[in-house]
Amino acid sequence: MGEVLVITSGKGGVGKTTTTANLGTGLAQLGKKVVVIDADIGLRNLDVVLGLENRIVYDLVDVVEGTCRLKQALIKDKRYPELFLLPAAQTRDKNAVSPEQMKALNDELKEIFDYVLVDCPAGIEQGFRNAISGADKAVVVTTPEISAVRDADRIIGLLEAAELRNPKLIINRLKIDMVRRGDMMNIEDMLDILAIDLLGVVPDDQAIVISTNRGEPVADGSMSQAGQAFRNIARRITGEEVPFLDLDLQDNLVHRLKKILGFAK
């Protein structure tokens, strides 16, 4: 029996889709059977990030409406035979699916897969309610910006209200040099405010843009910091204890912060 993880953020553009694609890839690398679901109906994107956009014939709405069988809509990844994508419909809207239908779908998928990752749409409306329906755990993605953290806080509240207790936090796009100058909130600041467990920190990395351009997730063998960070997060999801990345070897401040947090000696 697998596990359904919803990846959410509230605010748009913080990297939910990139995170979903990379965690899917990272988990598949570890030999897990994974399906990533694009729950952003009407604004699908996970397919292009994974480079699978030209293989889509059926989508989530087709499955839910019974136009096709579930297996027909699942798209096998180019690189990992155990990684699958269930794409969103592009020409429908959020109301094409109900939370009950999503739950039934997730229940069916977790019989087959070790991990079901749901890429949640931005916002807190119907699309969000659909995406979290049937999820066992939640991952909240935020960036060190005041607006993203505020929305993350709101989302954490909504998740808890929906009985999704103890969501885990991923801090994305941390700019080490700005943190060092004191011009960006650091890990400690955000954990202080949001008061949830940290699942991982992904540094701001140009490799993300390049890999997205190519449709190859950065976690796929890339030596980049972001790729390493995503692979580590994937391992943490499987329950492995992985030390947090030393994001800047020359930077004592980050090291000091980690010491405060107990992540480093």
Partner 1 sequence: MEENKSVEFKGTGQGLAIRVHLYHENQQIKDIIQQRINENPSFYKGATVADLTCESLSETSKKELEQWLADEYGMIINSKSNGARIKQDEEKNILPRQILKNDSFEENKEYGTKFVEGTLRSGQIIEHPGDVVIIGDVNPGAEISAGGNIVVMGILRGIAHAGIHGKTDAFVAASVLQPTQLRIHQTITRSPDDVLDRSKNPEIAKLKDQIICVEPF
Partner 2 sequence: MDFFKFFMGESKKSKNVAKERLKLVLVHDRADCSQDFLDAIKGDLIKVISDYMVIDENEMEIRMTRTKRDTDDTMIPALVANIPIKHMKDRKR
Binding site for partner 1 (CB under 8 A): 42, 44, 51, 53-57, 78, 90-91
| Contact partner, 181, from partner 1, partner 2, none, Cβ < 5-8 Å per class | partner 2
Q: Which DSSP string do the residues of 193-205 spell out, in sequence order? A: HH-SEEEEEEE--
Q: What share of the chain is helix, strand, coil (3-state, %, to 5)?
A: 45, 15, 40
The answer to whether the Cα torsion of 156, 157, 159, 164 is positive or negative is positive
Report d(CA 246, CA 217) in Å as an integer: 22
CB count in 10 Å sphere of residue 230: 30
CA-wise closest residue to 169 among 203, 140, 138, 211: 140
Given the structure tokens 């796009």, which residue do they identify?
Answer: 173
| Contact partner, 209, from partner 1, partner 2, none, Cβ < 5-8 Å per class | none
| Contact partner, 57, from partner 2, partner 1, none, Cβ < 5-8 Å per class | partner 1
Query: Cα 47 to the chain's mean position, in Å?
Result: 14
CB of 91 to partner 1, least distance (A): 5
| Contact partner, 221, from partner 2, partner 1, none, Cβ < 5-8 Å per class | none
Q: How far is CA 238 from each of CA 37, 99, 142, 199, 215, rounded to the nearest angstrom?
A: 19, 27, 21, 11, 25
Question: Nearer Cβ to partner 2, position 179 or 237?
Answer: 179
| Contact partner, 53, from partner 1, partner 2, none, Cβ < 5-8 Å per class | partner 1
Question: Nearer Cβ to partner 2, position 56 or 191?
Answer: 191
CB of 159 to partner 1, least distance (A): 29
Question: Nearer Cβ to partner 2, position 184 or 234?
Answer: 184
Radius of gyration of the chain (CA): 18
Question: Nearer Cβ to partner 2, position 108 or 189?
Answer: 189
| Contact partner, 154, from partner 2, partner 1, none, Cβ < 5-8 Å per class | partner 2
Question: Nearer Cβ to partner 2, position 103 or 175?
Answer: 175
CB of 214 to partner 1, least distance (A): 10
Assess contact for 46 and 77: CB atoms under 8 A. Answer: no
**Using CB under 8 A as the criterion, which residues of the chain lie in contact with partner 2 when the complex forms?**
144-146, 149-150, 153-154, 157, 179, 181-186, 189, 192-193
Question: Nearer Cβ to partner 1, position 89 or 159?
Answer: 89
